[in-house]
Structure 1
Amino acid sequence: MELRSNFPAHSAHAITRRAQWVSLGIDPADMQRPKVAIVNTSNDLAACFAHLDDVVGVLKEELRGLGMLPFEIRTTAPSDFITNAGRGGRYILSARDLITNDVEAMVEGAQLDAMICLSSCDKTTPAHLMAAGRLNVPTVIVPCGYQRSGLAEGGEADVEEIFLKAAQQAMTGEVDESLNALADGAIRSPGVCSGLATANSMHMAAEALGMAVTGSAPVRALSERMWDSVRRSARALADLVERDVRPRDIITAGSVTNAVRTMLAVGGSINTVKHLQAVAAESGVDVDVWEAYRVLGRETPTLCSIRPNGADLIEDLEDAGGAATILRELLPLLDGAQRTVDGRTLAENTAAARPGDGAVIRDLDHPFSTDPSIVVLRGSLAETGAVVKRPIPDPGPHRFRGPAKVFHSREEGVAAVVENKIQAGDVAIIRGIGVVGGPAMGMISAFIFALDGRGLASEVAVVTDGQMSGLVNHGIGVGEVSPEAAGGGALGLVEDGDLIEIDLQEGRIDLLVDPDELAARPPYTPPEEDETPGYLDQYRATVQPLACGAILRPRADVTSGGAR
């Protein structure tokens, strides 16, 4: 087959590459084989990645046996619980695009022929999908599984419980002597967070997109099912290379819409909205993911109720059939003709999946809820969108109207909770922490947990241009308001006491202030910063709005995918 990596035999590229590779023990006879990047987001900082080096070894053996020449490459690898310590968590979202660029630099620089990406923590899966769409070389995403948790093995806590309790302790200042013991038993193996937060949501989204082999998500890390999907992924990649099937043949408007439907059906993380928009944009697919969530949310029943949405565990979802069974039950609402990395259509894949058990995974006629699990709002306070996560089933409230109390950081908001300056009926605004203002979106989960600790989570609405963890699901929390305050959005003009109305059923969020009065107010001015210049400044200078998935492009560039 014709491969871009096979340079003319006597060219400088071929000869100097041979010098490098022979010194690494590679047989010159193998140098004409398809060259595959094993994209490894591994480091020693978090359990999310601790097993990926073992996966690399198995993949190398499998790929060599399939007649391919594998090369491990490494990239940035953020973990929300570890790399959120610096700059208010702003290295989390920004690392997604850094991973994408890392992959480009290595795969394009070396002119490799294909990629197999070991996707683990929250930002790695969207980054790998974005890189696949951008580079458009044959690619398979390998979801590398979730960790064993204390809660699933007779203990009292998983990482979600630790996250909540630690935030509450920080808010009250009262030391809970039992918390360290709980933390020591919460995570019992490598893998991503248990529960249906961003990592497991994006693993399932990759399968729904057709970019991961069927039956690969969610999966217990290091289980026989995970190893089976690893080996099947290697075989799938060899077939893609042989047939020259590329990501842009698979990532289409139809497959992105399938992924949106799937996230709505499982009650996935709200972070999937911006990530799927980014994947569409990098793949050159002109689809408005925000609008798809807004419209399809009212047409897509919720078929499971997994923590943090409900009582069932992620293990229950896997044992009931996982994403493959969800897709089977959801098929009447999907585009079953979409291609997948398995070499079959989505409909052909789902025919082999087992049906829902009626308990953990229900059918379309007997869902857990017909209310949207992810609600996209628009209105005078969020002209291009904002997003809300809802519990399953949703007890309400579905409408909220109250006076604004404005804060300019998570810490300022938490201090107001501690000092009892926020009352039931208020709408707490935390602004200036969006993709530009943050930059890279500040995380306000600690503020919501502080409200929860005061018993106010269902009594106070929260509105921010920042983001919330995929584990957060308390009260009415409106995140990722766009346009953001620093981008000239109405959020930057809100003053204390302004009335704000949120209507989840109508999908609206409005600032109830006369337009002439708003026009007379001074524009939003971000607070002064005292930080050493670095990557986040480069991010701020090139990040596009959330409407385009917050991908990085020169500001004058008009992106084709997702632009509105």
Structure 2
Amino acid sequence: MDALKFDKSKLPSRHVTEGPERAPHRSYLYAMGISEAEIHQPFVGVATCWNEAAPCNIALNRQAQAVKLGVKSAMGTPREFTTITVTDGIAMGHEGMRSSLASREAIADSVELTMRGHCYDAIVGLAGCDKSLPGMMMAMVRLNVPSVFIYGGSILPGRVPAGAAVPEDFANRDLTVQDMFEAVGRHQAGTLGNAALEILERVACPSAGARGGPSTPNTIGRVPQAGGAGLLQSPGAPAP
């Protein structure tokens, strides 16, 4: 126990790291390559909604690695975990939309359960979609531990290649997925052909990140900054 540097008598992680009776618990921590010194530091959950469901989430695991380096530099022990996301950009317009709002509660529940079950002392949460943003924040409020929220950021705008056969009002300007909804309407009205629609859909979302434009994730992403849980200026940075 010579590595003990922190008074963990009031920290949740004392229940899994301190005292002879926690030797079985510590054996599990050693199994994951955690050192003795790291075991006796504060445990910080690094929670993301990373998955391959949508571009909103696809970069969160890479961002989490930077967060973990920050936690380590401050003498904390980061413990990364993930949860689900149902993304409106793909779930909408069909039966999958019934899963969207319910996913918010599942995200909040799963983050809270992981944090409480493993007795983590603090949390850094990263999210990027309509329901994962409030779901992560709801978990933080329930947990009442030191919390930092990070919005994963928006998709960069796209551009049609020079000379591509699309209507003039789609050329030479930034495009987002919102333009795709307009394009679908024009296609249904018979004023936009199949070839032009296919060109637009390939370029409108050129990077990882949440839905571009003044949409739900980009507005909700600013809420934690206003409320004191988010890093200053962080909501304005694109996902890449």
Task: Give TM-score, length-normalised by structure 2.
Answer: 0.84
Query: What are the within-5 Å matches in structure 2 for residues 392-471 of structure 1?
Result: none
CA shift in 2, pair 1:171/1:88, >3 Å: farther
Are residues 1:100 and 2:108 paired? yes
Alignment partners' CA distance in 1, 2:66 and 2:23:
30
Q: Which residue number corresponds to residue 177 of structure 1? A: 195
Alignment partners' CA distance in 2, 1:181 and 1:221:
23
Alignment partners' CA distance in 1, 2:106 and 2:113:
10
Alignment partners' CA distance in 1, 2:75 and 2:214:
37
Alignment partners' CA distance in 1, 2:173 and 2:204:
8
Give deviations 1:78-117, integer Å, cap 9, x for gaps: 2112233652511111111110011011111111111100
Q: Which residue number corresponds to residue 220 of structure 1? A: 238
Output the amino acid matched with 1:181: I
Query: What are the within-5 Å matches in structure 2 for residues 272-291 of structure 1?
Result: none
CA shift in 2, pair 1:191/1:178, >3 Å: same
Alignment partners' CA distance in 1, 2:57 and 2:178:
18
CA shift in 2, pair 1:167/1:152, >3 Å: closer
Indicate conservation of the 8 Å contact 2:160/2:200, yes or no: no
Are residues 1:60 and 2:68 paired? yes
Alignment partners' CA distance in 2, 1:65 and 1:157:
39
Query: What are the within-5 Å matches in structure 2 for residues 5-16 of structure 1?
Result: 5-7=13-15, 8-11=18-21, 14-16=22-24
Indicate conservation of the 8 Å contact 1:159/1:187, yes or no: yes
Alignment partners' CA distance in 1, 2:160 and 2:219:
19
CA shift in 2, pair 1:156/1:111, >3 Å: closer
Are residues 1:135 and 2:153 paired? no
Alignment partners' CA distance in 2, 1:32 and 1:171:
65
Q: Which residue number corresponds to residue 58 of structure 2? A: 50
Alignment partners' CA distance in 1, 2:227 and 2:32:
37
Query: What are the within-5 Å matches in structure 2 for residues 155-234 of structure 1?
Result: 155=173, 157-166=175-184, 169=187, 176-222=194-240
Tell me the secondary structure at the aligned position of residue 81 of structure 2. strand
Q: Which residue number corresponds to residue 147 of structure 1? A: 155
Following TM superposition, by how much is the alpha carbon of 1:157 offset from its aligned partner in structure 2, in angstroms?
2.8
Alignment partners' CA distance in 2, 1:90 and 1:28:
47
Following TM superposition, by how much is the alpha carbon of 1:10 offset from its aligned partner in structure 2, in angstroms?
1.8
Alignment partners' CA distance in 2, 1:212 and 1:203:
9
Query: What are the within-5 Å matches in structure 2 for residues 14-413 of structure 1?
Result: 14-84=22-92, 87-150=95-158, 154-155=172-173, 157-166=175-184, 169=187, 176-222=194-240
Greater radius of gyration (CA) = 1
Alignment partners' CA distance in 2, 1:122 and 1:215:
20
Output the amino acid matched with 1:138: P
Following TM superposition, by how much is the alpha carbon of 1:196 offset from its aligned partner in structure 2, in angstroms?
1.3
Alignment partners' CA distance in 1, 2:120 and 2:217:
27
Alignment partners' CA distance in 1, 2:213 and 2:77:
36
Tell me the secondary structure at the aligned position of residue 124 of structure 2. strand
Give deviations 1:164-200, integer Å, cap 9, x for gaps: 323554687x863311110100011111111111001
Indicate conservation of the 8 Å contact 1:155/1:185, yes or no: no
Give deviations 1:38-96, integer Å, cap 9, x for gaps: 11111112111121111111111111111000011110112112233652511111111
Tell me the secondary structure at the aligned position of residue 45 of structure 2. strand
Output the amino acid matched with 1:124: S
Indicate conservation of the 8 Å contact 2:89/2:211, yes or no: no
CA shift in 2, pair 1:168/1:108, >3 Å: farther
CA shift in 2, pair 1:114/1:4, >3 Å: same
> More helix per residue: 1 or 2?
2
Alignment partners' CA distance in 2, 1:149 and 1:63:
32
Query: What are the within-5 Å matches in structure 2 for residues 512-527 of structure 1?
Result: none
Task: Give TM-score, length-normalised by structure 1.
Answer: 0.37
Indicate conservation of the 8 Å contact 1:40/1:74, yes or no: yes
Following TM superposition, by how much is the alpha carbon of 1:145 offset from its aligned partner in structure 2, in angstroms?
1.2
Percent identical among aligned pairs is 26
Tell me the secondary structure at the aligned position of residue 178 of structure 1. helix
Alignment partners' CA distance in 1, 2:73 and 2:174:
44
Alignment partners' CA distance in 2, 1:86 and 1:25:
45
Runs of 4+ in structure 1 deviating by more than 3 angstroms, as ranges, are: 151-156, 167-172
Output the amino acid matched with 2:92: N
Number of corresponding residues: 220
Alignment partners' CA distance in 2, 1:76 and 1:171:
37
Output the amino acid matched with 1:71: R
Tell me the secondary structure at the aligned position of residue 82 of structure 1. helix
Output the amino acid matched with 1:110: H
Tell me the secondary structure at the aligned position of residue 191 of structure 1. coil
Alignment partners' CA distance in 2, 1:97 and 1:168:
36
